[in-house]
Structure 1
Amino acid sequence: MDPRKPRSFPPLNALRAFEAAARTLNFRLAAEEIGVTQGAVAQQVRHLEDVLSIQLFERLPRGLALTADGLAYFSAVQRALNIILDATAALNRRSSTLTISTTPSFASKWLIPRLSEFSQSYPDTEVRIIADEKLCTFKGDGIDIAIRLCKPPFGKGLTGDLLFPLDIFAVASPSLLDGPKPLNNSADLGKHVLLHDAHDLWPEFLKALKLSGKVDPAKGPRFNQSSLAIDAAVAGQGIALTSEPLVERDVTAGRLRRIFDFSFPLSLGFYVVYPNESPDSDAKQAILAWLFAQREKDTQNHGTKSLRI
């Protein structure tokens, strides 16, 4: 067969009418199933028989019977139509699936604890989370939106909406604060272990507190993820620098306390980034609306207490 030569397909509406009639062996029932008149089904079947030059049905006084050719053709046509139905169902499932890429710390500390609320509101939308630091291209990587710690400008064809600005502050476990090394003033930081993450913000933070040269900004263990430094702080192992979205639940639950009435603003923020080249799906619109509704809820609920020093 010459692959360049167009293939001649039988009329698809006639195939659908034939499959329904062959399955029910009744033009009336087939017509009810596909939403046309009984006469239209009979006409479509006759047209298919004319195109194929083959009789597919025996017209009997009390109904229909498939000929041998009709029975063989019905089996093949039914398989083909089922493949189309399955492919369509799979496509619809993919259209209601949304993949979010974000950092491991933001995923574990903010996004995942709230996802059950989204699932309750949008039970037909499946959310997939990819937690890594890899930059998204949105071209063949399967990512619909990304939540990243970054700042404008963004790449060509991308939209970035600010989810949270980033103000850095210090937190510690109440067990540490109530221990044998009290924090009576900011200089007492030198008595405690400083917990570092990959952002290495302690030098800037200490400089803003006018503690450069008084407290060693390099001492203390280092973690490649902010969530690990936060977990170490919850365990009473030292003092961590973090931001509201990552510790809001720990502070509310009393596992952590802010230890200064001071925060250090960064030019970075958590942005929701997505391509603007194609129309948004219902799933994408839903998750975007939900993310910013969660932000507003968090903003209203904030009011954490700090240990003033």
Structure 2
Amino acid sequence: MSLPTRARSSAALVLAGVLWGTGGLAGSLLGQRAGLHPLAVADYRLLVGGAVATLVLKGRGVPRTSEALRRILAVGGLFALFQASYFAAVALSSVSVATMTTIGAAPVMVTLASVRKPRRWTLVSVISTFAGLVLLQWSPGQAMSFGGLGFALLAAAGFAALTLLTAKPVDGLDPLSTTAFGCLTGGLLLLPVASWSDMAIPLHADVLALVCYLGAVPTAIAYAAYLRGLAAAHPVLGALSAVLEPLTAAVLSAALLGERLSGTAWCGAAVLVAALAVGYWRPEPR
């Protein structure tokens, strides 16, 4: 891989992780202001994100090859699985613990599935990532039920499977098309469950702006960037970049909502940055 290609790939993965971090704040605000269940928020995210990405495609239809259609269906199913499992874990535990478990477990699963004999620097990066997430988000006295733990690990497995699957390109299906049709498919699959929780929203400017932002920025743009970055990066590096989501969310919460980060949390943030640096500069060969 040439250095410019590697640099563009790394930049795309970093962009995706940071934008995902803004999605947590936007989704939380949308749920509060519209009175939506987390599953409804997740479904709006997928449906609006898919619609926005489809508009950018400028009328390009769904690829008609059987391989492309199978890929879209698989991506849509994994989107729905990941979102539903994650929000189930949140409901049974807490946002911080569910996020820490999901994002912390995903790089480990990808490493075990894609690398027969991980290099020393890969192991250092994965272990440091998990340690940083623990320091960043763990609070004494918080506990996760076995049900919450199970759903968080299921969400991690869904994200890991999505990372491994989309790392292999399909003819006629670029990252934007995969994002557009995958999100729409996932949103439709999740719709029956989300509708049960009531998806009605007040037609207020701030609520509609949050819906549009959640679908466009941390979904359509972020997933398109992530899939584009995976095209030239090892899947382990892609999974590691996802840890920028809780890191960005924690910093934004401190800056915009006045939530104070403890010294331990700031240490965790520093460990995360160091772990990502190791992953980017010492990547596994493809």
| TM-score, length of structure 1 as denominator length | 0.23
Higher strand share goes to which structure?
1
TM-score normalized with structure 2 length: 0.25
Which of the pair has more CA radius of gyration?
1
Larger helix share, 1 or 2? 2
- Tell which has more relative contact order, 1 or 2 (C-alpha 8 A, sep 6+): 2
